Structure 1
Amino acid sequence: MEKIPFGKPHISGSELAYLQQVLDSASLSGDGAFTRKCQAWLENQLGTPKAMLTHSCTAALEMAAILSGVGPGDEVIMPSFTFVSTANAFVLRGATPVFVDIDPHSLNIDPHEIRAAITPRTRAIVVVHYAGHPCDMDAIQALCQQHGLLLIEDAAQAILTEYKGKKLGTIGDLGCLSFHETKNVISGEGGALLVNNPAFFERADVIWQKGTNRKAFFEGLVDKYTWVDVGSSYLPGELIAAFLYAQLEQAEQINQVRRGHWALYRQLLLPLAQAGYIELAEPLPAAGENAHIFHIMLPDAGQRTCLIQYLAQRAVSAVFHYIPLHSAPAGRQFGRAHGDLPHTDRVASSLLRLPLFPGMSASQVHYVCSQISQFFQCKHDPAPHSS
């Protein structure tokens, strides 16, 4: 059996043609024609008033942190079960991440835990839509309104996923997307900041343009541009934007293929879940979510390690994440956990992600599932290992 990678970048077919257009234009720096095309696509398809391409989702989060105005002494509530960029962006501004537990079913931040963690120092809530599955945005928005807090969405994994008719990333004041090669829609590296609150429009442009009023200059509003605020080089080059635009044109088709693989995985693995060997995620609706991740939950870290090794020996790559931020060295140094986080700890030690990418075949999904079934049928090492 040919090796089944955990992921494989999808090529739409138009990338080379669009890259050639950029090369023919002899203009490779950012904020060109393809940057504007991508931003217009995001605004039209997602329903956000302002989309800004960035060189990564990390950059989008850093821009969001600057726009939030947080600084030393301020607290920002977020899940511990997330990638480090979610917290780093706010640590770089001097704020303290406050890590709270996740809901054990959705694996998203628990609104009840958010409520308990709010203090007079809280300035913002950052939600992470894990696996492209929406957080309970109604409850979280209500908390933000009640306490006067900014709401920032880390929608890195959630391109085109909907929550009650609204696309994720467009519900909070600010939203952040990722186009890293591991995501559904890719540009190698890349991201976008969605600015949904008009109060941030003008400053977002300045921060994006390295802290200058360059946009105002090109619009004829000032006779020269200069340094007026903090900022950095957050925009990507035009080659990245051209590649991304080819992907955006096929975004819904990509998600549709992934949903098909997701549904097949669940169908084939359901007998193992019913027998109590594994836990499966809640069923996805037919549309509205993007099937970014298919994961299973093992009884403990020992069994997960054994299964990873078993699959690797049979040409299947499966991975886990994340090391919870509240237990990481930098998490303990720069942030704090609000109480115990038992669900986060359990999920982090038990969750296993299976291969899922558009170019995957149904026969490969069948093979992965057959190998997982054989693992649990093996008699030579049936006992789970404790973590």
Structure 2
Amino acid sequence: MSGRNTATQILKTSGSSYALPFHVPHRARRQAAYVAEALRHGHLRPDGPFFQRAQAWLADHTAAERVVLTNSCTAALEIAALTLELGPGDDVIVPTFTFCASATAFERTGARIVFCDIDPASMMLDPADLAHRLSDRTRVIVATHYGGGVADMEAILALARSRGIHVVEDAAQGFGTLRNDRPLGTFGTFGAFSFHDTKVVSCGQGGALIVNTDDRKLLELVTSIVERGTDFALVRSGKKAFYEWTSTGSSFQMGELEAAILTAEFEALDENLAARKRVAAALMRGMETLALPIMPIHADAQTVSNFHFMPALTRSAREAKDLIASQRKRGIDCRQHYVPLHLSPRAKAMSYGHGALLEAESTWDRLVRLPVHTAMDAYDVEMVLEGLKAWAG
């Protein structure tokens, strides 16, 4: 191998034990300048200048009815759950292969979580299994978009609309991905993004709620919940002199410093995505040439991926562990992912009825995630490919 390992240089000061880490956050050039500017103006609460600027950028990007910058994707999902006034007697269908927040944000309302199997070709919710799990209790379907791909929204929305069920998109991993030129998070009643430090676009800790309905009641309830359960928005607009307690709510919004970082990231989005695409394309070309005994999971032809990482399936759980161990010995951090939620201690304690979810159970421990990030260069890609070649023998 030849060349300079960009990721190694960047990680010298981060404490990583890997020459090539699984993830290095993208750092837009204007981040430091914008944070300094925010500190100078001193308006650090939610609704400061950078908060307004980032929120307006995201509203334009999504063409949503309403956008709320939040302190996490979990918070965005919680706002959606509260707005839909879920409670005991309601069912929320969640793919079992997802992060636990996809379930906990709705479970805390008292609703029952119904787990759904996945399509192993995408690792996302299987519409055929979903159809069997719908009932008169079903109020919400959570569609988690995985690894830069897109759940089968056409089939999911068709099932939901036929029964008057809300769809909430957990697009934590999907910011920057497009489906038929349309951003994720804009298909369901609500969408939720993550801007956590592990994501394609990050501000350290943050998220956003995307509201895609003109239902006046829901829009007003979102506003009240975001205002910590008050009608303070009316005071701010001059329509009332005093605010009052009007609904449930909490402190869900993002701060100004995070919004300053996020503004810089939004402005550099095209550059970020182009770099990730170059790395992913080089990895895919190399893997095809090597004819490895693993199957990369590709986004379909209707999807322009953000290439959050490169998921691939091995033939067995043992192969997946061997591959990860082999790569790590060479200084390359590869990882597995979620244990299906229906197998978790929490789900068992809650005695959720779901039956066998065979595809998830037979697939999750065969999955390996290869790194894709903007700190990688041709040297790093070559490192990964040589490691895969050595593992395959």
Per the TM superposition, whether the score is higher than 0.5 is yes
Output the amino acid matched with 2:281.
Answer: A
**What's the % identity of the aligned pairs?**
36
Which 5+ residue runs of structure 1 have no aligned equivalent? 378-387
1:170 is aligned to 2:181: no
Cα distance in 1 for residues equivalent to 2:227 and 2:100: 25
Q: For 1:213, which of 231, 236, 249 is the aligned residue? A: 231
Measure the CA separation in 1 of the matches of 2:327 and 2:264: 34
Cα distance in 2, alignment partners of residues 85 and 334 from structure 1 = 16
Checking the alignment, whether the CA contact within 8 Å between 1:54 and 1:191 is kept in structure 2 is yes
Matches within 5 A, 1:142-157: 142-157=158-173
Given residue 203 of structure 1, which amino acid in structure 2 is its aligned partner? L
2:169–2:190 contact (8 Å) kept in structure 1: yes
For the residues of structure 1 that align with 2:159 and 2:325, how far apart are their CA atoms? 44
**Which stretch has the larger CA shift, 329-338 or 92-101?**
329-338
Confirm or deny: 8 A CA contact 1:326 1:335 kept in the other structure: no
Q: Work out the CA distance in 1 between the residues paired with 2:135 and 2:389.
A: 48
The residue number in structure 2 matching 1:226 is 244
Q: Do the aligned residues in 2 keep the contact of 1:311 with 1:371 (CA within 8 Å)?
A: yes
Inter-partner Cα distance in structure 2 for 1:358 and 1:77: 35
Report the number of matched residues: 375
Q: How does 1:276-287 map to 2 (within 5 A)?
A: 277-282=293-298
Per-residue Cα deviation, 1:232-285 (whole angstroms, up to 9, x for no partner): 00011100110111001111221121111111111111245x45x111123665
SS for the counterpart of 2:125 is coil
Q: Which amino acid aligns with 1:233?
A: S
Q: Is the 8 A contact 1:103 1:110 kept in 2?
A: yes
Query: 2:12 aligns to what?
Result: none
The answer to whether the 8 A contact 2:120-2:359 is kept is yes
Partner residue in 2 for 1:235: 253
Closer/same/farther in 2, CA of residues 337 and 169 from structure 1, 3 Å limit: farther
Question: Partners in 2 of 1:337 and 1:66 — Cα distance?
Answer: 24
**Separation of aligned partners in 1, 2:248 and 2:300:** 42
Aligned equivalents of 2:285, 2:51: Cα separation in 1? 40
Which residue number in structure 1 is paired with residue 369 of structure 2? 353
Alignment of 1:120-159 (within 5 A): 120-159=136-175
The residue type paired with residue 97 of structure 1 is I
CA contact (8 A) 1:127 1:152 kept: yes
The residue identity in structure 2 corresponding to 1:304 is A
1:54–1:234 CA contact under 8 A, matched in 2: yes
Q: How far does residue 226 in structure 1 lie from its aligned partner after superposition?
A: 2.0
CA distance in 2, matches of 1:107, 1:260: 23
Q: Write the mapping of 1:45-84 to structure 2, written as runs, cut at 5 A.
A: 45-84=61-100
1:284-303 mapped onto 2 (5 Å cutoff): 288-303=304-319
Deviation larger for 176-185 or 295-304: 295-304
Matched, 1:305 2:299: no
Q: CA-to-partner distance for each residue in 1:361-383, whole Å, 9 max, x for gaps?
A: 12101111111110111xxxxxx
Asked whether 1:371 is paired with 2:387, we answer yes
CA distance in 2: counterparts of 1:334 and 1:76, whole angstroms: 14
> How far did residue 166 of structure 1 move?
2.0
Which contiguous aligned blocks of 4+ residues in structure 1 show a shift greater than 4 angstroms? Answer: 283-287
Counterpart for residue 268 of structure 1: 286
Partner SS for 1:348: helix
C-alpha RMSD of the superposition: 1.6
Output the amino acid matched with 1:241.
Answer: A
Q: Residues 47 and 167 of structure 1 are in contact (CA less than 8 Å); yes or no, is this contact kept in structure 2?
A: no
| Alignment gaps of 5+ in structure 2 | 9-18
Rounded to whole Å, the distance in 1 between the matches of 2:110 and 2:54 is: 32
Take 2:203 and 2:236, find their aligned partners in 1: how far apart are those partners? Answer: 28
Distance 1:87 1:73 in 2: 16
C-alpha displacement at 1:336, in angstroms?
2.8
Paired letter, 1:210: R
Distance in 2, matches of 1:271 and 1:336, equals: 45
In structure 1, the partner of 2:118 is 102
Mapping of residues 315-326 of structure 1, within 5 Å: 315-326=331-342
1:86 and 2:102 aligned = yes
Report the residue type matching 1:245 in the other structure. Answer: T
Given that 1:46 and 1:160 are in contact with CA atoms closer than 8 Å, whether structure 2 keeps it comes out as no
1:246 aligned residue: 264
Aligned counterparts of 1:49 and 1:300: Cα–Cα separation in 2: 45
Q: Structure 1, residues 299-339: CA drift from partner, whole Å, max 9, x if none?
A: 22222112212111111111111011000011223363533
